[in-house]
């Protein structure tokens, strides 16, 4: 079944992520068959999914809401893929489809790879254009710049791109994907290798962030987005469900403060729905949680407590400004 993990069958005990199935790009210079064009595309995400969350945050920070619409798949799905079960008549109101697989099959007849989010769909044809989340985030920052809001931050500063790329790769392998390596390991040794790599990397990141507010430079960059989407789900899902249980995020003081700082920054916490996150992880991964029982905790109110990270200096948006509140229809429930 294709879920947010993008799990593929492995010949070893280790989790392997499926290759992306539609790796096109949307560009402004004619280098791809898909041009940058307002109102042509719809970003399909899910509140549950960290990979989709990255694209949703990037879209928010750059202010691309007026030119790229957003569809949200619900937290539950079956072997037919992500489903729009939160929308009227269980269909995306713009694309008119019940299952995201329909858009993949329009793009690639007989499509047999993972049906993942985020996915960008051309509205007129109903075809998936790309599910390449890494390229998508970079292209939101670079190819769509003519449509950025005034005050949009530079999430890929030229002078830091090599450092962002290197750090992003480390975080991807050991943290973003590392929690899945723990959760979907089929053997003790594979699990322990992933577990050790995960917490070694988190300790290293904690040391890095002990005296600087952000991971690279003195402003938010895309690598902060990439780390944060895993941290924000850590206690709600990964600590228990994926057996990443050496420490809760709330027991790692530097990372907990860093994560709260970003949660309270416009464009981050206003994309998070903890209920949907838990409904997905605990409700869909039947091989890990066969009862489907969704935990009541943890209490999310701590995300709004003071973090004091501003004392380290730094400017979240550099010379830019925070994004406006989410558009009507894209708000998430307040913490309760």
Q: Which entry of 41, 49, 258, 281 is annotated as an active-site residue?
A: 49
What is the distance between the alpha carbons of residues 129 and 4, in angstroms, rounded to a whole number? 18
Long-range contacts (CB closer than 8 Å, 24 or more residues apart) made by 88-93: 92/42, 92/44
Q: Which entry of 180, 191, 195, 258 is annotated as an active-site residue?
A: 180
Domain 158-312 has CATH 3.40.640.10: no
Domain(s) of CATH 3.40.30.10: residues in the chain? 7-147
Q: What is the pLDDT of residue 12?
A: 64
To the question of pTM greater than 0.85 for the whole model, the response is: yes
Beta-strand relationship, 34-35 and 41-46 = unpaired
Backbone angles phi, psi at 31, to 5 degrees: -85, -5
- The rounded Cα 208 to chain-centroid distance in angstroms is 22
Residue 39 pLDDT greater than 70, yes or no: yes
Q: How confident is the model at residue 113 (pLDDT cuts 50, 70, 90)?
A: confident
Active site residue 182: no
Dihedral of alpha carbons 43, 45, 47, 51, sign:
negative
Domain(s) of CATH 1.20.1050.10: residues in the chain? 158-312
| Residue pLDDT, tens place only, 198-233 | 999 999 999 999 999 999 999 999 999 999 999 999
What is the distance between the alpha carbons of residues 85 and 73, in angstroms, rounded to a whole number? 7
Active site residue 244: no
What is the distance between the alpha carbons of residues 206 and 253, in angstroms, rounded to a whole number? 8
| Residue pLDDT, tens place only, 140-175 | 999 999 999 999 999 999 999 999 999 999 999 999
Backbone angles phi, psi at 77, to 5 degrees: -155, 170
Domain 7-147 has CATH 3.40.30.10: yes
């Amino acid at each position: 079944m294709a879920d947010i993990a993008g799990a593929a069958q492995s010949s070893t005990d280790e989790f392997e992520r499926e290759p992306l199935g539609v790796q096109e790009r949307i560009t402004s210079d004619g280098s791809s068959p898909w041009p940058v064009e307002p109102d042509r595309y719809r970003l399909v995400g899910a509140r549950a999914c960290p990979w989709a969350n990255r694209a949703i945050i990037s879209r928010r920070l750059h202010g691309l809401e007026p030119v790229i619409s957003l569809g949200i798949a619900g937290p539950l799905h079956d072997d037919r893929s992500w489903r729009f079960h939160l929308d009227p008549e269980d269909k995306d109101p713009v694309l008119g489809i019940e299952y995201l697989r329909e858009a993949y099959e329009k793009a690639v007849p007989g499509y047999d790879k993972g049906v993942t989010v985020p996915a960008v769909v051309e509205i007129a044809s109903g075809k998936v254009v790309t599910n390449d989340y890494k390229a998508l985030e970079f292209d939101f920052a670079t190819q769509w710049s003519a449509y950025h809001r005034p005050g949009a931050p530079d999430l890929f500063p030229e002078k830091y791109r090599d450092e962002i790329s290197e750090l992003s790769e480390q975080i991807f392998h050991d943290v973003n994907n590392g929690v899945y390596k723990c959760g979907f390991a089929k053997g003790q040794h594979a699990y322990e290798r992933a577990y050790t790599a995960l917490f070694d990397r988190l300790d290293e990141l904690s040391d890095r962030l002990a005296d600087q507010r952000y991971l690279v430079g003195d402003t938010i960059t895309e690598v902060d987005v990439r780390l944060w989407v895993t941290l924000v789900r850590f206690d709600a899902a990964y600590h228990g469900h994926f057996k990443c249980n050496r420490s809760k995020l709330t027991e790692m003081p530097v990372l907990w403060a860093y994560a709260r700082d970003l949660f309270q920054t416009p464009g981050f916490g206003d994309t998070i729905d903890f209920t949907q996150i838990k409904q997905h992880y605990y409700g869909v991964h039947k091989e890990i949680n066969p009862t489907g029982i969704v935990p009541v905790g943890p209490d999310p109110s701590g995300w709004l407590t003071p973090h004091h990270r501003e004392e380290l200096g730094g400017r979240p948006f550099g010379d830019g400004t925070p994004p406006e509140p989410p558009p009507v229809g894209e708000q998430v429930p307040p913490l309760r």
